[in-house]
Amino acid sequence: MKKIIILGSTGSIGKQTLEILKKDKKNFKVILLSTDKNIRLLTKQIKEFNVKNVVVSNKKKYEILKKKLKKINVLPDFKEIDKNIKGKADYTMSAISGFEGLTPTLKIIKKTKRIAIANKESIICGWGLIQKEIKKNKTEFIPVDSEHFSIWSVIKDFDRSEIEKIILTASGGPFLNKNTKNKIKIKDAINHPNWQMGKKISIDSATLMNKIFEIIEAKKIFNIELKKFDILIHPKSYIHAIVKFKNGLIKIIAHDTNMRIPISNSIYIGSKNQNFIKSKKVDLNILNSLNLQRVNIKKFPVIKLLKKITKENSLFDTVLVSVNDELVNLFLQNKINFFKISSKICYLINLPFFSKFKHQKPKNLAQIEKLNEFVRLKTRTLSVISDKK
């Protein structure tokens, strides 16, 4: 039986990963799960998969679960993971959302043979640190975002010099063809037309900030220069990436709007016992009406940030992530309106005390964490707290 670890098991990606494993329990043993606050769902997962080790990062929820489940190793963080996890897991899904996923990802790499990362912030802020740990521990890495998994599956056997262009597609979110002059409600902003996602990623999709992050991710993961990437709007989310090679071939990667496809493939790669995903038949109506289009910069002003991305890894990547995270949090707290997310991030990152980080490379985790706290505090201080103006 293959040993499995899931970081962020109560989130969208974590739950879908467990649903895949549930259909093939005889071949897998879940040895560690983690959550922040959702101990009710975590308790169900523990019982269903007979899990002996869990991490609960929220202090209050940790104390509650530790008293409730005395026969289970309930840990408050990943510092003592070596004492509870012997040997290496065969597969780890890193799906803790937001910046909070970076530390657990770095801690768990040495405890797994393969790691699938679905956390954008970890790769954007700490790719250099992650890459170092991956090489040191000889851990296989697979990106799980549908776009990056699609690119990876196509170019993994090609030399980077053979690639001419890589296009990522964006759905355009819930407001692509709607009048957005009126005040945007939270429930409308998180109502993605194609995907079932968490609030944070849904907001990023609505502003198109998720594509800015995905370009940064792809540049780092595949070690391909920024000028070779582009973004096209594709409302149906059927095509996930387009790769043009210098030999004239263009490869288009398409699949249903179902994250179980890249997740399942990342689990079963190299296995003869693959539990195949039931996907829809090829839809000619979709293929004949792909409706690919250029990004409207007036509707999605964050696209201007592509010109701000540094060629080399820098702490400015952390600035982008932290400013955006804080602005999204302010919107979800009804403290700023939806449009301020895009306008504020475009304004704030140009301020001297943020832009100076373009010239600084990340040295360690502590430095990145300290910068994250600084940027968040500055963003809260400088942002409009009331949306009444």
pLDDT digits (tens, 9 = 90+) for 324-377: 999 999 999 988 988 899 999 999 999 999 999 998 999 999 999 999 999 999
Distance in angstroms (rounded) separating the CA atoms of residues 191 and 205 = 10
CATH topology of domain 2-143: Rossmann fold (3.40.50)
- Please name the amino acid found at residue 174: P
pLDDT at 196: 67
Instruction: State the pairing for strand pair 73-75/114-117.
Output: unpaired
Distance of CA 143 to the CA centre of its chain: 9
Closest CA to 262 of 20, 88, 11: 20
pLDDT at 274: 72
Indicate if the alpha-carbon torsion angle 301, 309, 99, 261 is positive or negative.
Answer: positive
pLDDT at 388: 43
pLDDT digits (tens, 9 = 90+) for 217-267: 999 999 999 999 999 999 888 999 999 999 999 999 998 888 999 999 999
Distance in angstroms (rounded) separating the CA atoms of residues 176 and 377 = 32
Distance in angstroms (rounded) separating the CA atoms of residues 308 and 220 = 15
pLDDT at 386: 42
Which residues make beta-bridge pairs with 346? Answer: none
- pLDDT of 126 over the 60 cut: yes
pLDDT category at 387 given cuts 50, 70, 90 is very low
Distance in angstroms (rounded) separating the CA atoms of residues 327 and 207 = 12
- Please name the amino acid found at residue 267: I
Buried b (16+ CB within 10 A) or exposed e, 287-313: eeebeeeebeeebbbbbebbeebbeeb
Q: Where are the domains of the chain?
A: 2-143, 146-177+185-256+282-305, 310-389
Lowest mean pLDDT among 2-11, 105-114, 199-208: 199-208
pLDDT at 103: 92
CATH topology of domain 310-389: Rna Polymerase Sigma Factor; Chain: A (1.10.1740)
pLDDT digits (tens, 9 = 90+) for 171-200: 888 888 776 666 788 888 888 777 667 788
pLDDT digits (tens, 9 = 90+) for 292-307: 999 999 989 999 999 8
Q: Between 289 and 248, where is the model more confident?
A: 248
Q: Between 89 and 86, where is the model more confident?
A: 89
pLDDT at 385: 46
- Mean pLDDT rounded to a whole number for the chain: 90
Distance in angstroms (rounded) separating the CA atoms of residues 291 and 125 = 33
Distance in angstroms (rounded) separating the CA atoms of residues 363 and 355 = 18
Q: Percent of the chain at pLDDT above 70? A: 96
pTM over 0.85? The answer is yes
Distance in angstroms (rounded) separating the CA atoms of residues 228 and 167 = 8
Distance in angstroms (rounded) separating the CA atoms of residues 342 and 207 = 7
Distance in angstroms (rounded) separating the CA atoms of residues 316 and 375 = 10
pLDDT category at 168 given cuts 50, 70, 90 is very high
Paired tokens of 172: 């355009």
